[in-house]
Chain A
Amino acid sequence: MRTILHIVIKEFHQLKRDPKMFGIILIAPVIQLIFLGYAVNMDVEKVPTVVFNQDNSITSREFLNNFNATRYFDFVEYVDNYNDLQTHVDNGTASLGIVIPYDFENDIANNRVANLQAIFDGSDGNKASITAGYLQNIVGDYSINLLKSRMDKSGKFLAPIGQITPEIRAWYNPELSTRVYMIPGIVGLLLSIVTLLLTSLAIVKEREIGTLEQIVVTPIKPTQLIIGKLIPFAILGFVAVIIVLVAMTFIFNLTPRGSIAFLFATTFLYILSTLGLGLFVSTVSKTQQQAMMLAIFVVLLPMVFISGFSFPIENMPTFIQGITYFIPLRYYMTIIRGIILKGVGFYELWFEILMLFVFGVFLLTLSSMRFKKRMD
């Protein structure tokens, strides 16, 4: 026990000597949080729109006003030919072109179907389909209003038509903002980076500078060395989490709805996995550079991509979805979003917690065994 304490003290002394590293651990999370919190915004608002109104009638202008009235569209220019419209879409100065045909007013007045052409910049498919949804909503509302006013004008009394109006309430994130969804995920992301990266460097560093050999001739047992090495990184991981949670509250006004103690308990379970993975990387690498590359490109990036941090797992092919079950971060993402956004607890998250526990114990045991073999 005392031996482990000596190792922990030594590690902290060394961290203290490396103020840059300390800064990275303490300040980077906040900077990352701010960058990701503001930059990662998939909300579609103020779509730059170019309008080619061939009809130039009262009806067409009235119709277009409906677009301008929402915050979703922003008319950048009115043009009078297709070429100009295309230039705008090509240049990216507009991502939507609305074309109103010559007989728009006429068709409507004469009870014919009026066509409306909408040209999307489909290079960002997600954005285009969301924009299309907004557009259809506006067109749909306009059509219903048209129908109603026509009926009123006809003077005929008609029995009210049965109609369904959805009353939409978005729970946990009423404004449906991406930021609210992303920020809790950042906790998981940063925690993974801090613990995995630092651990992966931990042992290989000692090997590289030759001190591991000196450690091996001391009576320190491999298990003691592993525990002594991992405790400081676990503590740093928790420090990073606390920093992000505090920053999240003050910068983005997002306070966890669930229990903080429960959050920390699950975080501990998750750290077991990242420490295990880091230790594994450290035992297979010969140099710190190798360890860094392995940790980032082989472990961290794939883990983040398919953890559901930014891309929804439900949209992935079945095969990839299967793989995500082997990614500890996947479970932690669900847990952390659940606790912070929904305020749920053990009852709802028991499966994820169980999986984290299983993965943590498995990974840590496996890499410790590997490490012991390398040391002997």
Chain B
Amino acid sequence: MHSIEVKNLRKEFGNFVAVNDISFNVNSGDIFGFLGANGAGKTTAIKMMCGILAPTSGDALVHGFSIAKDPSNVKLNIGYMSQRFSLYNDLSVVENINFFGGVYGLSGKDLEKRKDWVLEIANLKNEEKVLTGSLPGGIKQRLALGTAVIHKPKIVFLDEPTSGVDPLSRRAFWELIQNLSSEGVTVLVTTHYLEEAEYCNDIILMDAGEIIANGSSKVMKEKYLKNDILEIECSDVIAGLEILEKQNFVEETSIFGNNIHISINKNLKELNQINTLLKSSHNIDVIRVQKIVPTLEDVFIHLLEKRRNAK
């Protein structure tokens, strides 16, 4: 059963098409990654699915309810955590929980139970009275997530939940997301951190309002990257890159830290060719040439560059 079914969803702001007829399905209990550059239309799409923005055309069924016709039933079944921290900084932890729990109709024992749960996952037991604004970023995000799902929604939308959070807190946050998913909650999450996308069951990549790739991380790597990727470590990265770009066996080049990544075609007979080329013609020492398993980043750079070049 699909938890979210998006059909030709479109949003225009004046002449600008923010989301251009996108369609996809999300399976119940999945962690679904929504990737793309800034301004690709991810946030707009999420806002429509949450019932904050009305679509220009098209529709989406969220937990079976139409976002166009029945946004209030959609709202009862989802949790949402926006890009910006959106609890009240000037309320204490417990006041925030009480408020959001209250407006979702929780009271009495139910509220107490959920409050305990939120405090537990946010590591805030015995710190209920602390002002939310004074909490560290990682804790704040956990509290926001706990508050967003205080009413036990079937679906949660997380819009860049881990931006600006340290790696350790990010990891802990993803554990929470995985816990939710294992309890059967569907999680739709946007992120800029591609290594986080590896945690997702399914991914779509958006660019300029359109979906340009979809599938699991494994599928994506196999489907969209036909060529092998080589990682080259050499004494002069910039000069090496310039030379390699001109070779007929090279399809694409990019710099990863101190290394060069190139995708190669059949014209390259053996790896040693590269060492000889760089050493003989330009006196660049090649320290290492290695075939690597591509990352999602390789896939996305490949896909986005292909699109840019096509235009």
Contacts and interface: CB of A to CB of B under 8 A. Distances in A.
Interface of A: 2-3, 5-7, 9-10, 13-14, 17-18, 209-211, 213-220, 376
Given A209-B89, A210-B82, A6 B52 contact: no
Given A18-B90, A219-B76, A210 B84 contact: yes
B52 A213 contact: yes
Contacts of B89: 209
Interface string B74-87: 01101110101111
B82 A14 contact: no
Contacts of B82: 210, 213-214
B51 to A, nearest CB: 7
Given A3-B102, A219-B103, A211 B88 contact: yes
B160 to A, nearest CB: 13
A186 to B, nearest CB: 31
A6 B150 CA distance: 16
Contacts of A213: 47, 52, 82, 84, 86
A9 B99 contact: yes
Prevailing SS type, chain A contact patch: helix
B52 A219 contact: no
13 contacts: A3-B102, A6-B103, A9-B98, A13-B92, A13-B95, A14-B90, A210-B84, A210-B85, A210-B86, A215-B103, A217-B75, A219-B76, A219-B104
A235 B99 CA distance: 20
B72 interface: yes
Given A6-B103, A13-B95, A214-B100, 9 more contacts: A3-B102, A13-B91, A14-B88, A17-B91, A209-B86, A210-B84, A216-B51, A218-B100, A219-B76
Nearest to A14: B90
B50 interface: yes
B194 interface: no
A245 B213 CA distance: 69
B54 interface: yes
A214 B92 CA distance: 17
Contacts of B105: 2, 219
B131 interface: yes
Question: Which of A3, A10, A210 has the most chain B CB within a 10 Å cutoff?
Answer: A10
A10 B103 CA distance: 11
Contact of A219 (B54, B72, B95): B72
Question: Which of B78, B91, B99, B107 has the most chain A CB within a 10 Å cutoff?
Answer: B99
A10 B88 contact: yes
Given A6-B103, A13-B95, A17-B131, A218 B75 contact: yes
B87 A6 contact: no
Question: Which of A2, A5, A14, A214 has the most chain B CB within a 10 Å cutoff?
Answer: A214
A14 B91 contact: yes
Contacts of B95: 10, 13
B102 A211 contact: no
Interface in B15-56: 47, 50-52, 54
Nearest to A18: B90
B70 to A, nearest CB: 12
A217 B78 CA distance: 8
Contacts of A211: 86-88
Closest 5 CB pairs of A and B: A6-B102, A210-B84, A214-B86, A217-B80, A17-B90
A218 B104 contact: yes
A220 B91 contact: no
